[in-house]
């Protein structure tokens, strides 16, 4: 019997509701398996930790995570703490500390979900967005001078390294190759950004030669947003820079019906460190503590976690259970126009799992 060590970091707001729900579902899977089980360790990092200790996580926090097989994360964000502190102090610290350079976001319209694009059939929207997760616009390089003076100035430098672009391109081409259509769209902005994005394009051409069976094209990020809305079926796998993919993937999640459904994985493809799985939504303090949080984004992230562990059958069973639950409007949370609670959705997924075991 294999034992997977899972670190759980609920973080802030509804993270404290959806991560325990994710744990419940993992327990349900383990209960019906005689080949694996989970050993959870919970970390109470985030806004509360910040108020008590002046930091979002302990200075040696990464050491506590290092030996884990995966991390299940909720969200970081607190109305009383500036966003750049909550983001850089926890989530990005883990992403960067463990070089989780590939951020992967699958998007599909799940059964029973009323998505906003009326002309789009569910089968027309089936994407994976691969986001560069370690450098680019969010590399943190920049500065601010002459604060408060008329000549005040600030920069955020988008730094891209050849090695960084090559590895994310290679990961994206591999991802595209693993999917039935073998189709990749490289999102760029090299018409306006004349240095880094031109290198980005050149590296796409170079890496494409390693993947002759992948069909690929190039799209400007502005045009990509329109194409996602107007011609969704022409897209399959997309790769974009840190900032571009951040924006495109929120659009993708909205087009699929709700922010509450969308999952993401921060992957270290070389498996030197644990990878981290999380719903894409934030801490949503407006609905916290009332049982209104949709746990589906977390459950889908758990599917990705299981795939990463190589537990493909368990991943398939969980995805099937999620789809059986979303197909039933009586089990929709408020964000989907329903009345079901976080606990009811969680229990419904667990009972579907019990049926498929």
Binding site for ligand ATP (CB under 6 A): 14, 75, 77, 259-260, 281-287, 292-294, 297, 333, 335
* 183-188 and 237-240 strand pairing: parallel
Q: Is 282 in the site for Mg ion (CB under 5 A)?
A: yes
Nearer to Mg ion by Cβ, of 183 and 243: the residue is: 243
The three-state secondary structure class of 253 is helix
**Alpha-carbon span 139 to 156, nearest angstrom:** 8
Residue 287 interacting partner from Mg ion, ligand ATP, none (CB closer than 5 to 8 Å by kind)? ligand ATP
The answer for 178, left when phi > 0, alpha when psi is -120 to 50, beta otherwise, is: alpha
Residue 260 interacting partner from ligand ATP, Mg ion, none (CB closer than 5 to 8 Å by kind)? ligand ATP
- The minimum distance between CB 296 and ligand ATP, in angstroms, equals 8
- The minimum distance between CB 12 and ligand ATP, in angstroms, equals 7
The three-state secondary structure class of 353 is helix
List the structure tokens of 333.
Answer: 């949370």
Residue 259 interacting partner from Mg ion, ligand ATP, none (CB closer than 5 to 8 Å by kind)? ligand ATP
**Alpha-carbon span 300 to 322, nearest angstrom:** 8
Nearer to ligand ATP by Cβ, of 237 and 283: the residue is: 283
- The minimum distance between CB 83 and Mg ion, in angstroms, equals 9
Q: Is 297 in the site for Mg ion (CB under 5 A)?
A: no
Q: Is 74 in the site for Mg ion (CB under 5 A)?
A: no
Nearer to ligand ATP by Cβ, of 211 and 277: the residue is: 277
| Residue closest to ligand ATP (Cβ) | 282
Residue 232 interacting partner from ligand ATP, Mg ion, none (CB closer than 5 to 8 Å by kind)? none
Nearer to ligand ATP by Cβ, of 76 and 221: the residue is: 76
**Phi, psi (deg, nearest 5) at residue 21:** -65, -40
**Alpha-carbon span 131 to 240, nearest angstrom:** 5
Nearer to ligand ATP by Cβ, of 44 and 79: the residue is: 79
**Alpha-carbon span 329 to 346, nearest angstrom:** 15
- The minimum distance between CB 73 and ligand ATP, in angstroms, equals 12
- The minimum distance between CB 297 and ligand ATP, in angstroms, equals 6
Residue 174 interacting partner from Mg ion, ligand ATP, none (CB closer than 5 to 8 Å by kind)? none
Nearer to ligand ATP by Cβ, of 103 and 333: the residue is: 333
| Beta strand segments in 133-262, E | 136-145, 153-159, 183-188, 215-220, 237-240
**Alpha-carbon span 210 to 289, nearest angstrom:** 50
- The minimum distance between CB 154 and ligand ATP, in angstroms, equals 22
- The minimum distance between CB 86 and Mg ion, in angstroms, equals 11
Q: Which of 97, 95, 122, 124 is nearest to 110 (CA)?
A: 122
The alpha helices in 67-102, defined as continuous H runs, are 83-86, 92-97
Query: Helix %, strand %, coil % for the chain, to 5?
Result: 45, 25, 30
CA contacts within 13 A on the Cβ side of 25: 36
- The minimum distance between CB 281 and ligand ATP, in angstroms, equals 3
The three-state secondary structure class of 9 is strand
Nearer to ligand ATP by Cβ, of 14 and 235: the residue is: 14
C-beta separation of 202 from 169 below 8 A: no
Enumerate binding residues for Mg ion (CB under 5 A): 282
């Amino acid at each position: 019997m294999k034992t997977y060590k899972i670190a759980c970091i609920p973080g802030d707001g509804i993270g404290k509701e959806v991560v325990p729900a994710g744990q419940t579902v993992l327990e349900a899977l383990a209960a019906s398996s005689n080949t694996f089980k989970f050993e959870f360790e919970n970390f109470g990092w985030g806004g509360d930790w910040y108020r008590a200790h002046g930091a979002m996580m302990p200075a040696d926090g990464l050491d506590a995570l290092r030996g884990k097989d995966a991390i299940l994360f909720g969200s970081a964000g607190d109305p009383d703490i500036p966003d750049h502190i909550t983001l850089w102090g926890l989530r990005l610290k883990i992403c960067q500390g463990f070089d989780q350079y590939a951020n992967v976001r699958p998007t599909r319209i799940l059964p029973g979900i009323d998505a906003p694009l009326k002309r789009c059939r569910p089968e027309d929207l089936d994407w994976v967005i691969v986001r560069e997760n370690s450098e680019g616009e969010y590399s943190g390089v920049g500065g601010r001078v002459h604060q408060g003076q008329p000549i005040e100035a600030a920069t955020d430098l988008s730094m891209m390294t050849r090695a960084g672009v090559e590895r994310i391109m290679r990961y994206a081409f591999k991802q595209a190759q693993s999917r039935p259509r073998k189709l990749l769209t490289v999102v760029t902005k090299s018409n306006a950004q004349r240095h880094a994005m031109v290198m980005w394009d050149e590296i796409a051409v170079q890496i494409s030669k390693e993947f002759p069976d992948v069909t690929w094209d190039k799209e400007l990020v502005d045009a990509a947003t329109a194409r996602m809305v107007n011609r969704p079926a022409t897209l399959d796998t997309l790769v974009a820079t840190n900032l571009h993919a951040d924006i495109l993937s929120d659009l993708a999640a909205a087009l699929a019906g709700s922010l509450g459904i969308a999952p993401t994985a921060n992957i270290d493809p070389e498996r030197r460190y644990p990878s981290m799985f999380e719903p894409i939504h934030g801490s949503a303090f407006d609905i916290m503590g009332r049982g209104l949080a949709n746990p589906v984004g977390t459950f889908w992230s758990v599917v990705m976690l299981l795939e990463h562990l190589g537990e493909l059958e368990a991943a398939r069973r969980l995805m099937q259970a999620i789809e059986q639950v979303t197909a039933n409007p009586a089990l929709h949370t408020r964000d989907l126009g329903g009345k079901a609670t976080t606990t009811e959705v969680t229990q419904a997924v667990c009972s579907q799992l019990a049926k498929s075991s």
